[in-house]
Structure 1
Amino acid sequence: MTAKPRLLPAVAVPVLATALLASLAPSSTAAPAAPAAAAPQALYGELAKNGTFTPGTADWWSSGATLAAAGGSAVATVKGGTGKLWDAMIGQDNVRLRPGVTYTLSFDARASVPAKMRTTAQLGAAPHTAPLDRTIDLTTVSQRFTMPFTSGIDTTTGAITFQFGGQPVTTDIVIDNVSLTTSTAREGFYVDPSNNAATWVKNNPGDARAAKIKAAIADRNTVKWFGDWDADGNAATDIQTEVSNYVGAAAAQGRVPVLVAYNIPGRDCGGPSSGGAGSPDLYKAWADKFARGIAGRPAIVVLEPDAVAQSSDDACMKGTAEQRFDMLWYATQHLQQQGPFVQTYLDAGNATWTLGPDLSGNQGIGLKKMAYLLNRSGASLARGVSVNVSNFDDTAVADDYAKRLTAQLKTDFGLTTRWVVDTSRNGNGAHVVPGSPGSGHVGFCNPARRKLGVTSRVGSAGGAEYQLWLKSPGDSDGNSSQCPAGSPPAGVFSPQLAEALIDGR
């Protein structure tokens, strides 16, 4: 432990929602087609040194308090008396902070008696500008604190401080598991290490297709779907823990996670991906835990593919459309409450489905009706909409649909709406029968001659905010009579389907 002169009171920087969102917003430069090689720790990833205080308190200083390690935690003892919070503190120097970048400081903390503690991430010297400046209440029971913030400063000499002076009695402040990470789109999107393609590659190292599938799909699959296979209120798996672990793993790599929530009751109207929570109440409990698992950290969430569009189908809804609107509004609201680092996109179907008709005779929903359905489902609480999820329209077609739909939302409801496009399988566009431009989704189930699209990246000016792999390539669309013979059940990985997408056949 080394002593350090106390810092002057930090000068806080106002954090506006627009500035926070800018840290995840697209620029005119596309992200790399594949995840970039790991950058130096000075740029992203874990920035806090010795956050577990093992062994001891190396890399940490104290001022106005005695600092020691006990039981794998830091214990700072401050004598009782008058004073300000900044009259006693512990901290760490030489922290790299970059302007416009999103960071998350998290830690466990408790006190021997209830106490206040001020937490900052700031310049280590005058004027001590602090992008993060938050005062919290500690109890005698350890709590986990998670504090996302956007840096407005550019420095290699930043500091993390925990300030706790002015306690009325001598107090022990116990701190552990300190972590400072950053994740923004400029660092890239998090690849799910346990995606189905990666699992298949791991289990089939001798297969001649393994290296090809690993390079083209497994190492680039930047999405994870969450549904009733995780929990619907009755299952043993806790959805909050599942989501928290996934978002935390992404933050540790300095990348943005993409999550799809897919658990609405009556999902897929009894189709190949049917299922979902057992009741509206169970869904709301699941959605609440899903949101709390993100804990305000940077994340992109696509909410309930197909659910809004299917709410217009009376045969599917059987009088439950109002319940569906209520559930989607609830989920969108709870995601919004996680703060501006969580970007939610409410699913808006796809161009052919909405605009129809197609060869199966579906007449489509229409832009005005789709805008109405989205507004009823909480579009005003979301950042935007997702289009083309699990479908095949090329990006130009998807963008054209989204532009018209967002214009309708603006006209009818005054909403400014962005959009994301699923590019996982749209490299060859949708199958169009010559002379029938409305036939774009004939053969929706594992159709032939589809191809991988561009990997997850920031969109271009005037188009999608992000182009994302949202459907996991190689995962089957289902095994119903509408699917090619031998198709696996929905969601099951097929190396044959994966290779066909790689080759475009």
Structure 2
Amino acid sequence: MTTTRRLLQVAASPVLAAALLTSTAPSASAADPQPLYGELATNGTFAAGTTGWWSSGTSMASAGGALVATVNGGTGNLWDAMVGQDGIRLRPGATYTLSFDAKASAPAKMRTTAQLGDAPYTAALDRTVDLTTVSKRFTWTFTSGIDTTTGAVNFQFGGQPVKTDIVIDNVSLTTSTAREGFYTDPANNAATWVKNNPGDPRAAKIKSAIADHNTVKWFGDWDADRNPATGIQAEVSDYVGAAAAQGRVPVLVAYNIPGRDCGGASSGGAGSPALYKAWIDKFAQGIAGRPAIVVLEPDAVAQSSDDACMKGAAEQRFDMLRYATQRLQAQGKFVQTYLDAGNATWTLGPDLSGTQGIGLKKMAYLLNRSGVATARGVSVNVANFDDTAIADDYAKRLAAQLKTDFGVTSRWVVDTARNGNGGYVVPGSPSSGHVGFCNPPKRKLGATSRAGSAGGAEYQLWIKNPGDSDGNSSQCPAGSPPAGTFSPVLAEALIDGR
């Protein structure tokens, strides 16, 4: 890399940069030399020395597991000395996150860019920071306005007043990960209601509190094209593709198991095991290896223990769920599947040791029969109300049971859509819990979709879209709409916690 080439990088044209904002995102291709998703920087921890990095106007070495660049003191410009990495794929309209640790042997300024690697060197990100002798983490999330297969990440630090060592470590540039955020379904039920009711005094409130945060889309037998062998592939592909174009992660719920909800308010599903397998094949093919989180068949595993529901078909259900986890696993490392594991207060009857209650041992057995070993983990609390601490505790104990009994490592996600006030307790019955209760009062929105914390869920997700009814059976408050139907009354109650 020549100094002359790098000097030109400060000359980006604002007009050209604005024009590039309207460029069309490139499509994925097997011939693409750079990754499109996930981690785009290579050797960002410098475990392989300085492999993959270049320098200009400075020395560069690996020391103590970090990159160390020494710049002589004197007058000059930041771009007179720099290190960087080429071969970065940047797509217009996609969101990226760049982060790194940095310090200097003396106070110093450093300019950081993500940009075109060639003239006119337009930058999608351009930040100048002050370094001290104490290492600090820098993180920026930005939307690219440039389209290139030859992008670069640069660190510029020339013109320091004294000879200075610049230390850089843990460089990460990602897209379509939880760091960039989850894709919001633009056609979610709350958003559709807001669009259709602009004059309603509740519209602005529901938009800002709910519609703008609904990041999960459910797929089942209600989709536009009900042909189980064709239509679902196009619908999933369009949804996942729209998320990928934004560099955000889509969350999908596959909810089409035969005998769904045991004939309850959300009954339905594919007409046979063969039709279900055809449907899940196309569902998986629609993802096409792009980043996605899939919550697989809420309640299906837990309900497999109900003989009255299964009517002797439990083995068929296990087979279908194993088939589904295998087909989704085959889509590659960017697809994360979580097989549903009910919730912390779901009574399965006696477990395999004869103990009444949730039956961790029994749930672990059912999950193992259903293919959890080929999933990333489990989902808990879907469409329920337990607070996050209770859901995490259940999932953590379940993960330990799976490890002990079957050697399966299981992570988990928690539905936080309606758990802001915890689970509903029937007045006068402190031990009643909430299982089977429909649209309970005084529930509240929980934490919006986000990455989880150490020791807890991998993700906290709004899986059940707030404001969508649980059903209109005799268990539900009078006037409840059918299951899955949006109600502004229910939505406002969740916003206000009443």
TM-score (norm 1): 0.66
Cα contact 1:233–1:282 (8 A) shared by 2? no
Aligned partner letter, 1:414: G
Consecutive unaligned residues of structure 1, counting only runs of 5 or more, are 1-45, 54-88, 104-121, 133-149, 160-177
Does residue 218 of structure 2 align to residue 220 of structure 1?
A: no
- Summarize the Cα distance change of 1:102–1:227 in structure 2 as closer, same or farther, 3 Å threshold: farther
Q: How does 1:111-126 map to 2 (within 5 A)?
A: none
- Summarize the Cα distance change of 1:427–1:297 in structure 2 as closer, same or farther, 3 Å threshold: same
Does residue 488 of structure 2 align to residue 495 of structure 1?
A: yes
Deviation at 1:156, TM superposition (A): 3.4
- Inter-partner Cα distance in structure 1 for 2:54 and 2:242: 28
Cα contact 1:101–1:151 (8 A) shared by 2? no
Percent identity reads 78
Aligned position for 1:100: 39
Deviation at 1:246, TM superposition (A): 0.3
Aligned position for 1:287: 280
Deviation at 1:130, TM superposition (A): 6.3
Deviation at 1:365, TM superposition (A): 4.6
- Inter-partner Cα distance in structure 1 for 2:453 and 2:99: 25
Aligned position for 1:156: 115
Aligned position for 2:457: 464
Aligned position for 2:249: 256
Does residue 380 of structure 2 align to residue 387 of structure 1?
A: yes
Q: Which of 338, 350, 358 pairs up with 1:345?
A: 338
Tell me the SS of whatever aligns to 2:258.
coil
Cα contact 1:399–1:421 (8 A) shared by 2? yes
Cα contact 1:196–1:493 (8 A) shared by 2? yes
Does residue 266 of structure 2 align to residue 273 of structure 1?
A: yes
**Range with greater deviation from structure 2 (236-245 or 122-131):** 122-131
Bigger relative contact order (CA 8 A; separation at least 6): 1
- Summarize the Cα distance change of 1:234–1:447 in structure 2 as closer, same or farther, 3 Å threshold: same
- Summarize the Cα distance change of 1:232–1:349 in structure 2 as closer, same or farther, 3 Å threshold: farther
- Inter-partner Cα distance in structure 2 for 1:448 and 1:439: 15
Cα contact 2:232–2:286 (8 A) shared by 1? yes
- Summarize the Cα distance change of 1:50–1:348 in structure 2 as closer, same or farther, 3 Å threshold: closer
Which string of whole-angstrom CA distances, capped at 9 and with x for unpartnered residues, describes residues 393-434 of structure 1? Answer: 000110010011000000000011100000000000001357
TM-score (norm 2): 0.66
Which string of whole-angstrom CA distances, capped at 9 and with x for unpartnered residues, describes residues 172-230 of structure 1? Answer: xxxxxx99894111111110000000000000001111011001000110100000012
Which string of whole-angstrom CA distances, capped at 9 and with x for unpartnered residues, describes residues 446-492 of structure 1? Answer: 01000000100000110000000000100000011111111100000
Q: How does 1:93-492 map to 2 (within 5 A)?
A: 100-101=39-40, 156-157=115-116, 182-230=175-223, 234=227, 238-354=231-347, 364-433=357-426, 438-441=431-434, 444-492=437-485
Deviation at 1:440, TM superposition (A): 1.6
- Inter-partner Cα distance in structure 2 for 1:340 and 1:158: 28
Aligned position for 1:141: none
Cα contact 1:250–1:257 (8 A) shared by 2? yes
Consecutive unaligned residues of structure 2, counting only runs of 5 or more, are 1-19, 43-51, 57-83, 90-96, 101-112, 119-146, 150-173
- Summarize the Cα distance change of 1:99–1:269 in structure 2 as closer, same or farther, 3 Å threshold: closer
Aligned residues: 366
Cα contact 1:98–1:155 (8 A) shared by 2? no
- Summarize the Cα distance change of 1:319–1:415 in structure 2 as closer, same or farther, 3 Å threshold: same
Aligned partner letter, 2:39: G
RMSD (Å), alpha carbons: 3.7
Deviation at 1:97, TM superposition (A): 8.9
- Inter-partner Cα distance in structure 1 for 2:36 and 2:270: 42
Aligned partner letter, 2:367: L
Tell me the SS of whatever aligns to 1:393.
coil
- Summarize the Cα distance change of 1:48–1:417 in structure 2 as closer, same or farther, 3 Å threshold: farther
Deviation at 1:96, TM superposition (A): 11
Q: Which structure's CA Rg is the greater one?
A: 2
